[in-house]
Each structure stands twice: as C-alpha cells, then as structure tokens.
Amino acid sequence: MKVVVRSEEIIIPELEESEPPIRYWTEREEAILRKYYGKADPKKIAETLGRTKTAIQNKAQNMGLRYGGE
C-alpha cells in the first residue's frame, strides 16, 4: 500500500477510490418496497434490490410498512 503525505495530510489512494460506506435508498427502491413488502418474501426483495434482508426489514419499518398487513 502506498501512502502519500502532503503537508500533514495523509492520502491513501485505495481508500480515496473506495465506495462510500452508506448506500442511500432511491425513490425507485422505496416504491418497490411499498408495493411488494408484505406480499413477497423479504429475502426475495433483498436479492432483487441487492440489499440484505435486514436492510429491507429496517427500511420497511422506518417507512411504517408492516409485513403481512399486521
């Protein structure tokens, strides 16, 4: 790993080019969740959106959605 130091600032190129740790939800993803949460298996929704089942469940809860119309 190459570390570049510029006047007291440390730059690690591999980290500069990495993806941000947070992937924000798009309006499209939220619309899919509103339409299918409670009607389709959360694991299947997660696979479709490229997210974890836990992320799907947490986002649905934050949106006020209930699984199975509970």
Please indicate, yes or no, if residue 33 is contained in any of the structural domains.
yes
Read off the amino acid at residue 37.
Answer: Y
Evaluate whether residue 43 is within a structural domain: yes
What is the Rg, in whole angstroms, of the alpha carbon atoms belonging to the chain?
A: 18
**The pLDDT of residue 62:** 97
Does residue 52 lie in a domain region?
yes
Q: Is 52 within 8 Å of 46 (Cβ atoms)?
A: yes
Task: Report whether 42 contacts 52 (CB < 8 A).
Answer: no
Query: Number of structural domains, the chain?
Result: 1
Segment 17-69, tens digit of pLDDT: 777 778 899 999 999 999 999 999 999 999 999 999 999 999 999 999 988 65
Domain limits for position 32: 20-69
pLDDT at 18: 73
List, in order, residues 6 or more apart from 7 with CB less than 8 Å away: none
Q: What is the pLDDT of residue 69?
A: 52
Q: Is residue 11 a part of any domain in this protein?
A: no
